[in-house]
Structure 1
Amino acid sequence: MGWVSGWRGAAVGLLLLGVCQVWAEEGILHAVSNDSNLGVKQYCVMYDSKWMPFPKSLDNATEFQLKILTSTKLCNWTDVPAEGIKDKLLVVMRGNCTFIRKAQIAQRNFAKALLVATVDRIFSPSGNLSDFEKPNIPVALISYDDVLSMQKMLGDHISGTLYSPPVPTFDYSILIIFLIAVGTVAFGSYWSGMAEYGSTSYSPSDSRLQTHEENKTKESAATLTPVTVVIFVIVCSAMIVLLYFFYKWLVYLVIGIFALAAAVSLYNCLVALVKRIPYWKCKFPCDKISIEIRLLFLAVFCTAVSATWVAFRNEDRWVWILHDCLGVAFCLNFMKTLKMPHFKSCVILLVLLLIYDVFFVFISPYFTKNHESIMVEVAAGSGSTGEKSTGNYLMGLTVEPVAHNEKLPVVIRVPRLVTSVATICGMPFSLLGFGDIIVPGLLVAYCRRFDLQTNTSNIYFILCTIAYAVGMVLTFIALILTSMAQPALLYLVPCTLITCAVTAWSRREMKMFWAGNGYEMMNRVGTTSEETVETLTEPASE
């Protein structure tokens, strides 16, 4: 049952295989009251630097008079007031047309900047620049609540300045992501080997033979063959396309699946520790079975933890810690329960998912109407209109806004530790998809089991883990140099596969490593043991 739940969750978890750092496009509106003794306030805005970059400091920015027209959405030329908007920092409401359309009307009426007020959570504005001229005035989103607060605190005569403090190229959140990823892969792979060989015995005794046969059944039920690998990748591709077009509905399905899978995974990870506790071993009957009280308490605890995450999943300040703990438990449980039977299946899985990753990050923009990556759009909580989950209005299509900007819970999230606008705009995060841990982790786990089969002193496991760490370092280097989202498997797959292949070839074990002969040997041992027991028990039965 635990494996089934983990598999369903993994089908969603592998949707996001790209690692990306959420490069902040936050800006600051420095608002000053022109009335005496009303002071100065700063507000968070979001902008798209590809349109019109903001000055990097307040000293280099120009101050303009604010003109607040939240009674209009500025979608028609007739929305411009008779007194004009020349040289103004204009504030209008979001809706009915694209951001670019609003900017086009504003700049042709000589406005100096445009702020679009939204009742939802603010985000970076986007649109298809191929259909319109590129805005040459700053365009940003601001919370409508902030506009109301500004008028209440600063009065009706306000001057404003837009600027965006520089974000450090390197942030220590990358190091934390690295430690979580490498640690999870190493521990999950080591646990996978111990779980299989710590409980398997080839002794011909009846009780041990039964245990061996049960383990063989579990193994065959949780094994990815080449055929199932291909089917799995096809399902993942279909799911991410569906999420792209129907994000605001399917995101809640993904949240529910993750909550269930996370509770099961956390239970499976903690049950081994709880069973070492010498207390609360008493049992009580329940429908012809006996349940230990301590395991019942553990199940309630894991369910409560998962429910707590569901209830507070949008509280960025602290819930990311709980989310990451559940995510690590999910990855560990998946790597422990799913087995790759041979290196051949590992190669097929990693290569197909590498193609999948690169396609949806780099090639999919050529097929989307807003020319954005499907992978990045889904990871950022967007959809086919650019902001499916936040109700943007693009290409003349109106999308109903939703109450929250829900995110897919299939990434490890670590807040950036150094950012000058964090206190105003909230916490930007660095992200790593679960798939970037699980997919290479399955190969590392196979190396660990192969080491145990052939008594090779963990040489494959150690080298493949190091190769994974090197691949992560290359990913982060590319991330920093390009300042854009990176498909991590582009670096992880070559590093791990080449390392394993070279190791097997240099040790002259490629044929065994490729075909998984260790599993065939184990099955033959089990068969021999079974035949021996049948021979021993046959006279007694007569």
Structure 2
Amino acid sequence: MRSGIRLVFGAIFVNQVLGEYGMAHFSDKGTRKGKDYCIFFNPQWARLPQDLHKASRLQIHDLTASVLCSPSEVPVGGFTNRIPMVLRGNCTFYEKVRLAQINGAKGLLIVSKDRLTPPAGNKTQYEEIDIPVALLSYADMLDISRTFGKGREVAMYAPNEPVLDYNMVIIFLMAVGTVAIGGYWAGSRDIKKRYMKHKRDDGAEKQDEETVDVTPIMIGVFVVMCCTMLVLLYLFYDHLVYMIIGIFCLASSIGLFSCLWPFVRRIPIGKCRIPENNLPYCHKRPQVRMLVLSAFCVAVSVTWAVFRNEDQWAWVLQDTLGIAFCLYMLKTIRLPTFKACTLLLVVLFVYDVFFVFITPFLTKSGESIMVEVAAGPSDSSTHEKLPMVLKVPRLNSSPLALCDRPFSLLGFGDILVPGLLVAYCHRFDILMQSSRIYFVACTIGYGIGLLVTFVALALMQIGQPALLYLVPCTLLTSLAVALWRRELPLFWTGSGFVKDAPQPPLVKSPVKCTPVPEPHPDEPTANQEPQDGEASNQS
């Protein structure tokens, strides 16, 4: 339940060098039909037009066998009214673009085999150069060579990208839905365990109902672990990212099993148990349907692990596993008091703000540790992303969706931490018979907090610590309801109200009254002492 991954939309600016994504529209000479490719450029060299129709279509001079670092590499006649395409390396961006400009080029495309980074320079160099320079990926260069002839042309432009995207609606529905369902499920299961301790179907049901109560000491240890892990990821990302991926696969498969078992156990087939054996975890002879479900959950998790970098569809599996993991954690981990809820949320609120807004003043490069780890360090050799997030690709029609930033992300911590408070509110509602007003109010507060996060993101255009907005909205909403209902002491102490809470009324079965026969005059009544000499029938 790390909250170390935050809400990250839009561009991540690294090393304080401004960079923007744009498009390079390639086509054969004399034809209008072509294909767009992603480029990364620095507007401080020269800006690009926003509309393709306003961009100049110029012929490409393929010089990808060269790096263009010396005048000897300039062809005879120069690059008059053309855009040279050269390889990256051996000299600075400024040396390349200066050679191109003095030889008549109208722009420069630099092919990079590494991750696209902003072509940087200094203020004096920016003032000297007035042609655009952009980076193009090596894979795209190979595709261009296969698709278009030698007389290919290019038009470079940078379309405006919508501030908000439809995928935010999907992120919102997934997050609020997970919090609502997880909080409702956790509260219901907890109450069922209190009143039906004597009902157990089998060992799997016992395990399914186990919960862990969070103590202040556990909160302190958890926050220290979060801080330590986040710093270690920032320093040794390429070594630890695979460990996080492995932990996610294991935890998400367990969570998926926990979510699907209540449905599978209603299926009438597969109830028979396996034969006696000495295999690990199978000596208790689990049911066949449990083994089949376990194999299915592991298969889904392994499939995601193998194809996790398939951006077209792997995000669906990641979100499914992530939601199952969050639901499992909300059901298993329980905050026993509102005091514990407040302590956890406030501490993580400070943790979130510190690692997003304060750490840029402490790192040499001016990077936010939280945002850098969430999006993946720019200098990572593995280019792996942490899986502890819900991710949805951009749904707008912007051609920039081709570039290397098509996803919006929401960290699991932004679901789990407020979700634990929502679960506590639901348990309190049931015990106090308050028609779930705490649960509904806290869930609405979470939704409002998420909307405020989106608005802040659109206004500031940088990664936002979502708990900065979610914690006040959920805590203050719950507190306001408790004050309004005059139940704050009970709500604050939590476990103390269980003894005094009104219990469900007992249902008494009707009693049939039968007439009692009149005693015989010679027989003693029930309250009459036996006479002397009479033996008592009572022992």
**In the alignment, which residue of structure 2 is the partner of 1:239?**
229
**In the alignment, which residue of structure 1 is the partner of 2:216?**
226
User: Aligned in 2, Cα 1:139/1:231: closer, same or farther, shift over 3 Å?
Assistant: farther
Tell me the alpha carbon deviations over residues 112-171 of structure 1, each in whole angstroms, 9 at most, x when there is no partner: 434332335x54537697998698653433221322333344344443221122222332
**In the alignment, which residue of structure 1 is the partner of 2:9?**
20
Helix, strand or coil: the match of 2:231? helix
1:146-165 aligned at under 5 Å gives the runs 146-165=140-159
Maintained 8 Å contact 2:94/2:121: no
Maintained 8 Å contact 1:263/1:306: yes
More displaced, 123-132 or 230-239?
A: 123-132
Helix, strand or coil: the match of 2:334? coil
Residue 97 of structure 2 is aligned with which of 99, 103, 106? 106
**In the alignment, which residue of structure 2 is the partner of 1:299?**
294
Tell me the alpha carbon deviations over residues 331-360 of structure 1, each in whole angstroms, 9 at most, x when there is no partner: 101111011121122122212222222222
Maintained 8 Å contact 1:448/1:460: yes
Give the Cα–Cα distance (whole angstroms) in 2 for the partners of residues 418 and 32 of structure 1.
Answer: 24
Q: Which amino acid aligns with 1:303?
A: V
Residue 333 of structure 1 is aligned with which of 307, 313, 328? 328
**In the alignment, which residue of structure 2 is the partner of 1:409?**
387
Give the Cα–Cα distance (whole angstroms) in 2 for the partners of residues 132 and 226 of structure 1.
Answer: 56
| Cα offset, 1:295, TM superposition | 0.7
**In the alignment, which residue of structure 2 is the partner of 1:436?**
414
Query: Are 1:184 and 2:178 an aligned pair?
Result: yes
User: Aligned in 2, Cα 1:278/1:362: closer, same or farther, shift over 3 Å?
Assistant: same
**Which 5+ residue runs of structure 2 have no aligned equivalent?**
13-18, 504-539
| Cα offset, 1:305, TM superposition | 0.7
Please provide the CA RMSD for this pair.
Answer: 3.5
Aligned residues: 483
**In the alignment, which residue of structure 2 is the partner of 1:396?**
none
**In the alignment, which residue of structure 2 is the partner of 1:308?**
303
**In the alignment, which residue of structure 1 is the partner of 2:24?**
29
| Cα offset, 1:425, TM superposition | 4.5
User: Aligned in 2, Cα 1:466/1:124: closer, same or farther, shift over 3 Å?
Assistant: farther
Maintained 8 Å contact 1:22/1:428: no
Maintained 8 Å contact 1:39/1:154: no
- The normalised TM-score by structure 2 is 0.80
Query: Are 1:515 and 2:493 an aligned pair?
Result: yes
- The normalised TM-score by structure 1 is 0.79
User: Aligned in 2, Cα 1:356/1:406: closer, same or farther, shift over 3 Å?
Assistant: same
Give the Cα–Cα distance (whole angstroms) in 2 for the partners of residues 298 and 279 of structure 1.
Answer: 13
User: Aligned in 2, Cα 1:55/1:270: closer, same or farther, shift over 3 Å?
Assistant: same
**In the alignment, which residue of structure 2 is the partner of 1:60?**
54
| Cα offset, 1:423, TM superposition | 7.1
User: Aligned in 2, Cα 1:38/1:517: closer, same or farther, shift over 3 Å?
Assistant: closer
**In the alignment, which residue of structure 2 is the partner of 1:286?**
277
Helix, strand or coil: the match of 1:115? strand
User: Aligned in 2, Cα 1:468/1:128: closer, same or farther, shift over 3 Å?
Assistant: farther
Helix, strand or coil: the match of 1:16? coil
1:258-269 aligned at under 5 Å gives the runs 258-269=248-259
Query: Are 1:489 and 2:480 an aligned pair?
Result: no
Give the Cα–Cα distance (whole angstroms) in 2 for the partners of residues 215 and 305 of structure 1.
Answer: 22
User: Aligned in 2, Cα 1:126/1:78: closer, same or farther, shift over 3 Å?
Assistant: closer
Maintained 8 Å contact 2:116/2:137: no
**In the alignment, which residue of structure 1 is the partner of 2:534?**
none
Larger radius of gyration: 2
% identity of equivalent residues: 44
User: Aligned in 2, Cα 1:73/1:520: closer, same or farther, shift over 3 Å?
Assistant: farther
* Greater helix proportion: 1
User: Aligned in 2, Cα 1:505/1:326: closer, same or farther, shift over 3 Å?
Assistant: same
Give the Cα–Cα distance (whole angstroms) in 2 for the partners of residues 136 and 26 of structure 1.
Answer: 19
| Cα offset, 1:242, TM superposition | 1.8
Residue 125 of structure 1 is aligned with which of 114, 118, 129? 118
